Amino acid sequence: MDVHGGQDAAVLVPLFEQDGLHAVFTRRRHDLRRHAGEISFPGGRRDEGEALIDTALREAHEEVGLPPDQVHVVGALPPTPTFVTNYAIYPFVGVIEPGFAWVLQHSEVAEVLELRLDDLAAGYGERRLVRRGIPFRTPTYDTGGHVIWGATARILGDLLGRLEAE
């Protein structure tokens, strides 16, 4: 599936079951040039000649130490664009075991968040944000003070909609 974007990227949407279904996110460092401080799924830009699924698995391994052989990929979600940075993001959903000991790539990742999908769904709303001095209204998911918005919120919304339909 193609989506508008000048640069292809892929993310892994790691899920695990432990008193409810959880998704794994990263909070990016606040001093990064792009997407600073934002919550996202582990992922990044596709390397030349690399399959998108391999990008998602490689980036998850680099960012949070999740070995590809410990991920059972169960499918993909529709790609989504980023508007400011011009990426086409291809999300892949993988099931992992709970209790993984995360190993952060400290140059990019400030922390790993394991958030219950039910809590995220309950925290859905629309809010006014200001980014680079420009105010806008956008869908958000807020749980425990963690606010997910932008492309990650669009991917999460699609995931939640598909899970609800089942």
- The per-residue pLDDT for range 16-29, each reduced to its tens digit, is 999 999 999 999 88
Q: What pLDDT, in 10s, does the model give residues 79-130? A: 998 877 788 999 999 999 999 999 999 898 999 999 999 999 999 999 887 7
Return the residue matching tokens 């052989």: 69
Domain 7-165 matching CATH 3.90.79.10: the answer reads: yes
Of the chain, the percentage scoring pLDDT greater than 70 comes to 93
Partners of 90 in beta bridges: 10
**Beta strands 134-143 and 146-148: pairing type?**
antiparallel
3-class state of residue 166 by DSSP: coil
pLDDT at 143 over 90: yes
At 36 the pLDDT is 59
At 117 the pLDDT is 97
At 5 the pLDDT is 55
**Please, what's the b/e burial string for 7-25 (b: 16 or more CB within 10 A of its CB; e: otherwise)?**
ebbbbbbbbbeeeeebbbb
pLDDT at 74 over 70: yes
Q: How far apart are CA 28 and CA 30, in angstroms?
A: 6
Query: What's the predicted TM-score (pTM) here?
Result: 0.91
- Mind giving me the DSSP string for 86-147? -EEEEEEEEE--TT------TTTEEEEEEEEHHHHHHTEEEEEEEETTEEEEEEEEEETTEE
Q: How far apart are CA 12 and CA 165, in angstroms?
A: 21
